[in-house]
Structures are given as structure tokens and as C-alpha cells.
Amino acid sequence: MSTAHPYDALTPDLILDAVETFGVRCTGGLLALNSYENRVYRVDTEEHGARVAKFYRPARWPDAAILEEHAFCLELAEQEIPVVAPLRREDGETLCRHGGFRFAVFPWQPGRAPELNRRADHEQLGRYLGRLHRVGASARFAHRPGVTVESYGRESVAFLLDGGLLPDYLVEGYRSLTTLLLDTIDARFAAIAPRGLRLHADFHLSNLLWTDQGPHIVDFDDCRMGPAVQDLWMLLSGTRAEMETQVGELLEGYTQFMDFAAAELALIEPLRTLRLLHYSAWLARRWDDPAFPRNFPWFNTTRYWEEQVQYLREQQALLDEPPLAWMP
């Protein structure tokens, strides 16, 4: 049986030839960047320095969904929100094809990993998020999915159980635990009825590049419709008191540009639980890609699934706790 993967055909020559369709000449300098869902490379050119070429995973998104991602980024960039948006080719296209792959080219944005140790950093990031969400609220995605209990939770659990991935002795416990969790989360979403808007939806520190001028936001590959708090909760860490301080600082900047419904803070632990389920299913769905067993060797081991059950039990307890406090 063949173990070939579509990305096996993505050779250095193909990458360089694709970038040169943008009317530039490549020097041959090529560096693979840290990306697993897609393949992303820094490519050096003679005229314009470095560029970033992103080759989309075959069959993941329809063209219309990728074009919505690009349009959203360009819309944000037009409002001077510091996102790294795709470049247009001379024919006006942002989503291009070469050698059987769909790809886009972006400017190279240097920067360092943020630490967010200062109040001023949280407030500045909050201001940009507020501006991003203000644009996001002005229209809706037509071709991209939402952050929902069904897509992140139930579909993920069904995929994992139907695939026979868990050890037999954990299956029934995992099934009953996730059913209880998802019913609780469903009720929480129904009670709050959060407003849906266009989001980054994967807004964590690894998707921020910090310079002396502040943050630059990258990788809108997972942008979706969802509640505003989806773009806030992954920036929080530490004790409850520390997270309350952080969310207060973020919202101090955020609410200068966009209203925030305090009730959405009760969705933080539900969203964290959904992400745990979604992440496991993502790894399982990508296991045929050789990059995944190589970079995630701990996945699908007995220890992994035992830890996941423990994390979910901890989430069950956290769902019963009061939400983080914020005084507007």
C-alpha cells in the first residue's frame, strides 16, 4: 500500500517556481517555517528581500473559504490593523495555483515571541483586538464554519470514538464524560446566546510577532464566526487572580473600540474544553501526514489518552466555578 502524501510532491524547485509567478526572482534561499497544518516557507528574492509562501493543505478548505480569509485580512490591513495580509499577484489574485498546489505569498514580518508581562502590552493588544472585532462585526463569513459545540466538540468526539483510537478500558468513561461535558457546554451557550462575529479564532501567543512598535497578527487560517471571547481566552494564563488582572487589562484597551458582553467570560472554560477535544481530533485526522508522527510522537499513546481524560475531568470541575470577574 502506498504511503505517499500530497505534500511529498512539494519540492524546493516547485516552491521557488511558484513564488516567481509573482514576478520576482528567487535567490534559492529557502527555509521551512514552523507550520504543520499547511506548509510555509521563507523564500529569499533578489528584488524584494524575503517573502513567505504558504501552501494550503489539499482538500482542507474550499477556494471560497480561503478567499474569505484573504479578504478579511486585506480588510483589516486597510484599517491599519497590524495583520500580515496576502500579497496580490500582477493579475490581482491572492490565491494562486502551481504544480497542483494552492498557495499564497505574504510579506516577511520579523518579530519576537511576545511575553505580555506589562499592563501596557495587554492594553495595546486589547486595542488592536477591539479594532479587529469592530471590523469583524461589520459582515459575516459565508463560507467558513463557526466556533460551535457541534463542530469543535461533538464532531471531534465522534471522530475519535469511531476511529477506535482510545484504549478499550477508557472508551466508555470517555464517552460518558464527554457527553456530560458537551451537554453542559450546550446549555451554557444557549443561556448566554453570544453574538457571532468574524474572528481570528486561533489567537494565541504563537500567532503574534512583537516588534518595538507592538504586535503583528499572523495566520488567519482558522478564522471563523464565533463569540468575541474566543480571541481573548488563549491569552490568559496563571492563577485565577492573575487571569482576572490580565482580562481586565486586555478589556481596558478592547472596550475603547468595541463593546464586550461580560457574560461571555462564562464561556472561557467551555471554549477551553472544546479546544481540548478539537485538538485531539485534529491530530488524529492528520496522522497520515508524516510530519505529524515525527513532531507529535506522544500522541495516541496510552499515557496521552489517560492524561486527556484527567484534563477533561478537571474541566468538569472548572465548569462549575464562577466566571472570571471583570468590572467595566
What contacts 306, CB < 8 A, 6 or more positions away? 170
| Annotated domain spans of the chain | 6-107, 119-318
pLDDT of residue 3: 61
Which residues does 227 contact at the CB level (< 8 Å), separation at least 6?
Answer: 147, 192, 194, 195, 196, 197, 264, 267, 271
Residues facing residue 88 across a β-bridge = none
d(CA 100, CA 109): 27
Q: What is the pLDDT of residue 293?
A: 94
CATH 3.40.47.10 fits 6-107, yes or no: no
Q: Taking the chain (328 residues) in consecutive chunks of 10 residues, what is each chunk's mean pLDDT?
A: 77 97 96 94 95 96 98 97 96 96 97 88 96 98 96 97 96 97 97 96 95 93 98 96 96 98 97 98 95 95 97 97 92
pLDDT given at position 113: 85
In terms of CATH, what superfamily is 119-318? Transferase(Phosphotransferase) domain 1 (1.10.510.10)
Which stretches does DSSP call E strand in 18-67? 26-32, 39-45, 49-55
Measured distance CA(53)–CA(141) in Å, rounded: 24
| Total Cβ atoms within 10 A of residue 309 | 16
Selected catalytic residue, list 219, 221, 222, 231: 219
Round to whole Å and give the CA distance between 79 and 36: 30
3-class SS of residue 261: coil
Instruction: Give pLDDT, residue 2.
Output: 46
Annotated catalytic, 91?
Answer: no
The whole-number pLDDT of residue 114 equals 85
Whether 44 sits among the annotated catalytic residues: the reply is no
> 29 and 49 in contact (C-beta within 8 Å)?
no
Element (H, E) at 8: none
Residue of 121, 183, 186, 202 with catalytic role: 202
- pTM (two decimals): 0.94
